[in-house]
């Protein structure tokens, strides 16, 4: 995904705690989401993702701490804060016996501000439902229902879209369509998205950043966008007897190589990699294998959690 322009904070969660059924489910979490970000929310089962989302969307109240949406405190400026948020939490609320269009009309009536026909049509186009919008929702697939729910959530032009497991239960084609829809609406509207999912690959392909929660605490945050001007970590493999020469030559090229077992680790700009490998070859040190040393999201997830649960 291309790097969106990022700006002011849209969501600020500050030292939030929540007890449920006598248990401290959310210990103390703080994080911020900026304009233009698509933030994934991962964590093992039962670690507080839904509870966090329910607090952000105003369904339950934190015991302490502060949640600001576009600067409005959900405790003291609830309506103002909620006017900036669109959300799908748990099952989307749709009337099966009405058409997609009629469902949107219902949502527009209760949106709290006037929604034009043009705005409704723009939202329908964003979720790729133009050709089916006149049909009754009971004939929709699960993926279509989810997309209609996203169109509803977008009607009032929110700054933050919160999606709790939007691909749950979808088949592979539905997952791909959902991913494309979310990507496109971020690109076209600039809305910030906070999305929980069990699918690491979905988060990896869709999000600009991921937050990992475990035991009611944010354990890690990782940027998933590699800026073009950022260096990459690379492992080089040569013959064992040539490792010392390789290290010397790489230092002469201005790099800072490290030896780790049978691999030589370097950091460099991606476009400099072919030239570096070629330089080594020309100087008598052929490289037999090159591997990226970047951690996959799965490795990062496992190293950030105790590894007991699945996300």
**Closest residue by Cα to residue 207 from 194, 198, 188:** 194
- Verify binding: residue 43, ligand ATP, rule CB under 6 A: yes
Give the number of residues in contact with ligand ATP, rule: CB under 6 A: 12
Q: Which is nearer to ligand ATP, 21 or 172 (CB)?
A: 21
Binding ligand ATP (rule: CB under 6 A), the pick from 39, 42, 49, 70 is: 49
Tell the burial category of 141 from Cβ atoms under 10 Å away from its Cβ (0-12, 13-18, 19+).
Answer: middle
Q: Which stretch binds ligand ATP (CB under 6 A): 39-47, 96-104, 143-151, 228-236?
A: 39-47
Minimum Å gap between C-beta 144 and ligand ATP is: 24
**Closest residue by Cα to residue 227 from 209, 212, 210:** 209
- Which DSSP letter does residue 155 get? T
Binding ligand ATP (rule: CB under 6 A), the pick from 3, 8, 15, 20 is: 20
Give the Cα-Cα-Cα angle 159, 163, 164 (nearest 5 degrees).
150
Q: Which residue's Cβ has the minimum distance to ligand ATP?
A: 21
The Cα 111–Cα 84 span in angstroms is 11
- Verify binding: residue 46, ligand ATP, rule CB under 6 A: yes
Q: Which is nearer to ligand ATP, 177 or 214 (CB)?
A: 214
The Cα 148–Cα 133 span in angstroms is 9
Minimum Å gap between C-beta 179 and ligand ATP is: 20
- 3 state SS of 196: strand
Tell me how crowded residue 88 is: count the other CB atoms within 10 A of its CB. Answer: 21
- Verify binding: residue 47, ligand ATP, rule CB under 6 A: yes
Q: Which stretch binds ligand ATP (CB under 6 A): 1-9, 16-24, 70-78, 235-243?
A: 16-24
Minimum Å gap between C-beta 185 and ligand ATP is: 24
Minimum Å gap between C-beta 220 and ligand ATP is: 15
**Closest residue by Cα to residue 185 from 235, 126, 101, 228:** 126
Site for ligand ATP in 179-198 (CB under 6 A): none
Report how far apart, in Å, the C-alpha atoms of 284 and of each of 219, 260, 287 are: 46, 22, 10
- Verify binding: residue 308, ligand ATP, rule CB under 6 A: no
- Verify binding: residue 42, ligand ATP, rule CB under 6 A: no
Identify whether the C-beta of residue 183 lies closer than 8 Å to the C-beta of residue 176: no
Applying CB under 6 A, the residues found at the interface with ligand ATP are 20-21, 23, 25, 43, 45-51
């Amino acid at each position: 995904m291309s790097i969106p322009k990022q700006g002011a904070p849209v969501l600020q969660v500050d030292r939030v705690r929540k007890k449920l059924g006598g248990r401290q489910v959310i210990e103390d979490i703080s994080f911020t989401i900026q304009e233009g970000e698509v933030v994934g929310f991962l964590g093992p089962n039962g670690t507080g993702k839904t509870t966090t989302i329910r607090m952000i969307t105003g369904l339950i109240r934190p015991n302490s701490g502060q949640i600001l949406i576009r600067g409005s405190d959900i405790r003291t400026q609830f309506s103002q804060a909620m006017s900036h948020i669109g959300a799908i939490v748990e099952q989307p609320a749709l009337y099966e016996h009405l058409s997609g269009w009629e469902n949107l009309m219902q949502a527009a009536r209760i949106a709290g501000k006037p929604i034009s026909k043009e705005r409704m049509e723009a939202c329908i186009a964003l979720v790729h439902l133009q050709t089916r919008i006149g049909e009754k929702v009971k004939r929709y697939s699960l993926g279509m229902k989810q997309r209609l729910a996203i169109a509803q959530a977008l009607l009032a032009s929110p700054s933050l879209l919160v999606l709790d497991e939007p691909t749950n239960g979808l088949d592979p084609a539905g997952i791909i369509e959902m991913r494309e829809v979310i990507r496109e609406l971020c690109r076209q509207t600039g809305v910030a998205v906070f999305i929980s999912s069990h699918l690491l690959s979905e988060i990896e392909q869709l999000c600009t950043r991921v937050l990992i929660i475990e035991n009611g605490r944010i354990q890690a945050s990782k940027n998933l966008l590699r800026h073009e001007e950022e260096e990459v970590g690379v492992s080089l493999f040569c013959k064992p007897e040539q490792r010392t020469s390789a290290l010397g030559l790489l230092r002469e090229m201005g790099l800072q190589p490290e030896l780790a077992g049978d691999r030589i680790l370097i950091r460099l700009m991606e476009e400099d990699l072919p030239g570096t490998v070629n330089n080594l070859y020309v100087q008598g040190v052929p490289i037999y294998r090159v591997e990226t040393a970047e951690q996959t999201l799965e490795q990062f997830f496992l190293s950030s959690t105790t590894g007991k649960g699945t996300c």
